[in-house]
Amino acid sequence: MSASAVQQGPQGPYAYVINADSTVAVRPVKVAQVSGGQALIDSGLSAGEQVVVDGQYKLQPGIHVTILHGKAAEEAAAQGAQQTPIP
């Protein structure tokens, strides 16, 4: 999966997993390796689970999310980049 999905917390690495009802949950993960922007997950996730790869700083467990694909995801990323202040 994308290495950007892996976050670091006080208890170690975790990812936000998207539940069937479009809410998110924090899931501890064990990262085997990170290479070329991809993370190989040893444990904590099942095949086919969807994880959040952008905007995690806005999330809390239980919050509803909207999944963006293709052009909508690109536009949201571009819009987010425009709103980021440059120091």
- Residue boundaries of the structural domains of the chain: 3-83
Q: What Cα–Cα distance (Å) separates residue 26 from each residue in 22, 30, 45?
A: 13, 13, 11
Q: pTM score, two decimals?
A: 0.75
Residue 67, pLDDT score:
79
Residue 2, pLDDT score:
85
Q: Which fold has domain 3-83?
A: 2.40.420
Residue 80, pLDDT score:
54
Tokens of 49: 């689970």
Residue 15, pLDDT score:
94
pLDDT digits (tens, 9 = 90+) for 21-78: 989 999 999 999 998 888 889 999 988 899 988 888 888 889 888 877 666 555 655 5
d(CA 87, CA 70): 30
Q: What is the mean pLDDT of residues 7-22?
A: 92
The full 3-state SS of 15-77, as one line of letters, equals EEEECCCCEEEEEECEEEEEECCEEEEEECCCCCCEECCCCHHHCCCCCECCCCCHHHHHHHH
